[in-house]
Chains A and B, each alone.
Chain A
């Protein structure tokens, strides 16, 4: 049993690492906050005057902000939808007794280990290229005009690429969840007259709800900050059609050298991420209780 004494000691021992982590987090945050109130542009070196909320006003009223906000939302929701839907399907397939199942499982996980820039390049040049891409060849083969993916449907193309990366992750988590399902429950349901569809809806899906919640939480954290795939493929364009908040902040601060505006965007992104986090935590709390 922990005595009061040993608990105090434990806190003391934890103090150095906790304070280091705190400083690690607090200092950049405070600096960003500070910069966001300054007129700080690298192209115009000067006194970096304090301009209050001007940067925020500038960032939030920029038409690009609204567009990239919805792009971020679409990107996150689209990828979540595809990876969870496809993940459940893949997990069910991988759960079947097939020859060489263990190897198939490892192969399925492979895309997750490919770096985002690499996978985006592969997709851009080998699949979605309107002249040399596999899809273009296929379109020509069946006699249709090839689609210029990044010009005609830039956001969808990025959603497809990101989904390809995250599908294995979702499938793997959901597969382990499916494997932990009590077979006797399925048998009981079968005896109770449930067909394959009812068994899936009433037994498998409720059982998977926790795993799905975990997948949503983890994926959302990473999907909010998708960057490499956009930079490599569309550079946010055409226009702002495939720019998300992360990418917008990048263009603001590094392409336009506006440190103040970029910092304001960063703070906005932090606030958005926290709003999402609160929603997710509520969802998780509700789902992980029962």
Chain B
């Protein structure tokens, strides 16, 4: 039902290729997140799936049916917009009923569906209010309610949480995840926030410049990024990249170490540096360590960290946690044993 297949899909605005030929298979019932920096084409692709943008070439199949040139309403998809796109002059009840009325559903059935959706989303007390009288989180829920009642084969979310404040965002994240578990419907979720992607997704597609860099489960992307872009995009704080001199038999141009894999050691480590700014978060501490000839490395340590500004420390990392990238930025994936160990000399 809710499987979506993209085959060699492209999109150009004049001479600009926003989406380069792209293949993607979204399984039925899957929660897939499109993540990437702004302008990478993720929202455009979502709008193409929704039918709001024409597809320049390639095919989009929804539930095994070619939907490339189908009008949006016929695709059986529901979308939640960044601005929620609620109809401001209609009450919450009429907002939710709008798609059902357009589909000529009987009034009793509409009433029943609204009641169920309102109960599910805690909107029962607000049904007769206008969107302008609701808070951001409530508006978001109305938008989701309007999507749910149509019983779509897939939900499309276009950065739905970016207008909410931080604490509400965490709550809505949980609510959407729970919604997915209870409805078991395909969901495509676009965001630029890698934390949202990591926490909610079954699978993540990382976009950059109109191409999908990598598709995989959150842990796959974290542990085995295919290139430097994915490695840098996934994980917070960002991975440290250190340029190295390639030597004969080793194409490594750059190595990457995540802040959480760097350890402060007493004896000789791989790098020696001076502690700069220390950020205490309570449960953990971020150290910004200035290493000569290498730059600033971010280190994540325990919440209780005795170090002070200006201390000179040694840093090391387990060899199997160090990623190596070649000149083009692709990850070098031979076994660790085959590769020369990273040493402090580099």
Contacts and interface: CB of A to CB of B under 8 A. Distances in A.
Partners in one complex: yes
Contact of B83 (A184, A194, A198, A206): A184
Given A184-B81, A190-B73, A290 B130 contact: yes
B150 interface: yes
B82 A184 contact: yes
Contact of A206 (B72, B89, B99): B89
A185 interface: yes
B101 to A, nearest CB: 9
Contact of A192 (B51, B82, B83, B98): B98
Nearest to B152: A191
B89 A182 contact: no
A187 interface: yes
Contact of A191 (B50, B90, B130): B50
A290 B91 CA distance: 11
Interface in A182-200: 182, 184-185, 187-194, 198
A203 interface: yes
B130 A182 contact: no
A116 B71 CA distance: 48
Interface residues of B, number: 26
A191 B78 contact: yes
Contacts of B51: 191
A290 B98 contact: no
B77 interface: yes
Contacts of A187: 50, 52, 72, 79, 81, 85
A207 B88 CA distance: 8
A290 B87 contact: no
Contacts of A192: 73, 98-99, 102, 146, 150
Contacts of B87: 185, 188-189, 202-203, 206
A191 B73 contact: yes
A191 B71 CA distance: 9
Interface string B22-58: 0000000000000000000000000000111000000
Given A184-B82, A192-B146, 18 more contacts: A182-B83, A182-B85, A187-B52, A187-B72, A187-B85, A188-B87, A188-B146, A191-B77, A191-B99, A192-B99, A192-B150, A202-B87, A202-B90, A206-B88, A206-B89, A207-B89, A209-B89, A290-B130
Leading 6 A-B pairs by shortest Cβ distance: A192-B99, A188-B85, A184-B85, A193-B73, A193-B102, A206-B89
22 contacts: A182-B83, A182-B85, A184-B82, A188-B87, A189-B87, A190-B72, A191-B50, A191-B52, A191-B72, A191-B78, A192-B98, A192-B99, A192-B102, A193-B102, A194-B73, A198-B102, A203-B87, A206-B87, A206-B89, A206-B90, A207-B88, A209-B89
